[in-house]
Amino acid sequence: MHTRRIGDVEVSAIGLGGMPMSIEGRPDEARSLATIHAALDAGVTLIDTADAYHRDAHEVGHNETLIAKALASHDLGKDVLVATKGGHLRPGDGSWTLDGSPRHLKEACEASLRRLGVEAIGLYQFHRPDPRVPYAESVGAIRDLLDEGKILMAGISNANPERIGQANEILGGRLVSVQNQFSPAFRSSEPELRLCDELGIAFLPWSPLGGISRAGELGSAYAPFARVAEAHGVSPQQVCLAWMLAKSPVVVPIPGSSRPETILDSLGAVDLVLTADEIAELDAV
């Protein structure tokens, strides 16, 4: 497995996104555990989750609990960096709400610590800006958690360039990751990716294949990805992830998966070398 860095931690160049294993349409627990274990066996050392990755109101942190169980039952579990997030909520009706208050973020972190069964969270990220709370106050809570040793590294998600700079300043230059949506269908995070490249901050694209329900449509929706895939004898999904990896050494995609075969296919992207012409063709989509 090829590796990249988040802060001072070396991780697999592609991580596993846990959300599909816990929200609507999720599989049974056995298949989810098999998916996580297959990823670990293949060399994955980064798993992304959040306390909001659950379906029903009474099961906050479902995905964190699932991941903790999977890691505890595998010999390689101790070698994995778990990245979780706080600041998003799911009332149980399918909607997503926000609470970026320092009080909530600190309480959410404590709850995540308990579910993950750790003394300190490897990477904790502010999930999404809350328009009711000054951004500096939300990130200030993350800074406090870092200073207190409750978290080992700090990141932000769904942030624009201005907020990346602001967060890094509030954190005293200790911002290690930015997790934004980025895919062939969603290119508006290019400025954030470039800024992360300049600053040496890991950029973690979420929904890199276009989302849970549309990942399988990548080749049909974007013909160049299908053409390049056919030329290499691989899936359009592999091409997509290889294209992202080629953009910058700070990029660490976290494709979501709920089946062993899909995460294993995604991981094949680390060995796929695209030509400059192919990358240019995909950039032009």
Enumerate the active-site residues: 53
CA–CA gap between residue 193 and residue 204 (Å, rounded): 9
CA–CA gap between residue 236 and residue 218 (Å, rounded): 6
CA–CA gap between residue 163 and residue 113 (Å, rounded): 26
CB atoms near residue 245 (< 10 Å): 21
CA–CA gap between residue 46 and residue 39 (Å, rounded): 10
| Distance (Å) of CA 74 to CA 21, 77, 236, 240, 283 | 18, 5, 31, 30, 39
Q: What single-letter amino acid sits at 95?
A: S
Query: What sign has the CA pseudo-torsion 151, 153, 156, 162?
Result: positive
What is the β-pairing status of strands 123-126 and 154-157? parallel
Beta strands in 34-138 (DSSP E): 46-48, 81-86, 88-89, 97-98, 123-126
Task: State which H helix or E strand residue 153 sits in.
Answer: none
Q: Which two tokens stand for residue 249?
A: 């050494």
Q: Give 205's strand partners.
A: 180
